[in-house]
Structure 1
């Protein structure tokens, strides 16, 4: 297993060079991957596996928009596209990718379809971590595994088409067959992961929920709203407030950070911008740290 230095901490990581596509195909050669749910994560993961010559079928409620989308994506009713329960019965690795609420609602019927030595695969740790509330408690005679891409389903697909991988977390909750880890890593590579980082179901869901409520969405939206409102309060036009708050961030700066990193941004902006950012960075950190502490406690409690 490879090691990557993250901020001075050496972390284990499985790379697509180490666990090759050929190896993944060999692990999955006798498996049928049933992707249940064709909404957010389902399309990207299913199409990537299909393009990698993995035997994959899709399970989706018949007749809805997602069913039609699967057909548009060339999944064929009765051959590679089935109602949820039929797909679950046909599969040996069941990728349970319906929404968290959908997993709660459909679980009793999906559970009845699981066979001994099947694998139940998630892309989010929610239903298992909070199983007392969700009721999703898998039987003892199946593997329970997770591959969680660190990006939207659209990014999983677009990165794959661009020839680049996506970071994913992986975990094994239960290894009934003795081959759960191999199955997990094979799925991770087959859906287009370039780097696979070990985690647990609990750690994945805690970090994911904090991220969504924090920097990735909630905090970002709140901070932008606060800056926009302050600029408007002090007489700036709506367009000026918008451009300095949203437009420049989303259309320019964040793309440069993604391509080059934050250190590069600091060294490639004006000295005025650099000095101001350095002066205010720690004030913002100290101001929001108590909010993040409350956020984390609310997630784990």
Structure 2
């Protein structure tokens, strides 16, 4: 099937980057590409649920593959998926579909891989939203056959945002990659699936680059570093005699409710241009100091990811039978931190007003 080869090539800092744009790839064309395909979604976590529901809303032939009787199975039934019709076990869903969207957790992919592999058919499309299993195949043992296509669409947001923005029409952004193109339709299927789950545009990457950037981002600015920065500033303000409420509001509340939304809407330079002269001077000066300190730390994190140290730790931790208990304890420690206890309490107060 011939499909639109449309993309836009843009230059960013002297680097040519191909962008697939929604306006160049009409939804009707994308649906036409997939109208005779059965699409299975394995997993019903945030990404699995969002992508499955978005595709179903386009009236495509979508089925779920889940562990029969498990918690996700029950959640799917509540979302009107029908057992033994469009809600099947993983083996059945894989075997009866043309496109298999593997949206299980990284560990879940490892655990279910033999079941998936044994039920794949020639010319199937294997779809991922994260390159972990494929890129780290020497640890995950996820080695797909050569007679299928392997593609990736990786949303740059949570599954909850994928669904919310699909319903609102706001859309999201993803990277995409073609790992194996056996049928010569991998590109067409990849971009069709990408736009049908709600992307405004997609940029090209590889499975390797997606994993390295994603794992680095999670450990640094997206989660690990921002949690550390919030806690560190809160502790310093309290140490110097500021009340817990003042420390909280100058650290978390103002960032999340005022400044970060403005950065998202207007950009960082707009924020700097539209704050007080005192804030401008201090932020410009101290940002340079922080940058010098942070570059070697982030670089060390990147090398830890690239050297496979991080994936080894993830797999080693998850192979420990008691890991779930240990992890729950670590997560509870974060929830119990004074900063987030205040946050929780004030959220309740705000809702009551």
| TM-score (norm. length: structure 1) | 0.97
Aligned to 1:17: 23
Report the CA distance between 1:133 and its aligned residue: 0.3
- Of residues 32, 36, 44, the one that matches 1:38 is 44
Distance 2:70 2:256 in 1: 33
Aligned to 2:254: 248
Aligned to 1:127: 133
Report the CA distance between 1:278 and its aligned residue: 0.6
Structure 1 residue 199 and structure 2 residue 234: aligned? no
State whether residues 31 and 92 of structure 1, in contact with CA within 8 Å, keep that contact through their aligned partners in structure 2: yes
1:199-248 alpha-carbon deviations (Å, 9 max, x no partner): 00000010000110010000101111111111111111111111111111
- Of residues 220, 229, 237, the one that matches 2:226 is 220
- Of 129-138 and 65-74, the range deviating more from structure 2: 65-74
Within-5 A mapping of 1:55-134: 55-134=61-140
Gaps spanning 5+ residues in structure 2: where? 1-6, 308-353
Aligned residues: 301
Aligned to 2:245: 239
Structure 1 residue 182 and structure 2 residue 216: aligned? no
State whether residues 49 and 190 of structure 1, in contact with CA within 8 Å, keep that contact through their aligned partners in structure 2: yes
Structure 2 residue matching 1:41: 3-state secondary structure = helix
Distance 1:160 1:68 in 2: 24
1:158-203 alpha-carbon deviations (Å, 9 max, x no partner): 1111112211011011001111111111110111111011100000
Structure 1 residue 137 and structure 2 residue 150: aligned? no
Relative contact order: is structure 1 or structure 2 higher (C-alpha 8 Å, sep ≥ 6)? 1
Gaps spanning 5+ residues in structure 1: where? none
Structure 2 residue matching 1:246: 3-state secondary structure = helix
Distance 1:84 1:109 in 2: 7
1:25-79 alpha-carbon deviations (Å, 9 max, x no partner): 1111111110000012011101111111221111111222211221121211121
State whether residues 90 and 115 of structure 2, in contact with CA within 8 Å, keep that contact through their aligned partners in structure 1: no
Structure 1 residue 287 and structure 2 residue 293: aligned? yes
Structure 1 residue 154 and structure 2 residue 160: aligned? yes
- Of 248-257 and 290-299, the range deviating more from structure 2: 248-257
State whether residues 128 and 154 of structure 2, in contact with CA within 8 Å, keep that contact through their aligned partners in structure 1: yes
Name the Cα RMSD after superposition.
1.1
Distance 1:15 1:49 in 2: 19
Report the CA distance between 1:98 and its aligned residue: 0.3
Structure 1 residue matching 2:64: 3-state secondary structure = strand
Structure 2 residue matching 1:120: 3-state secondary structure = strand
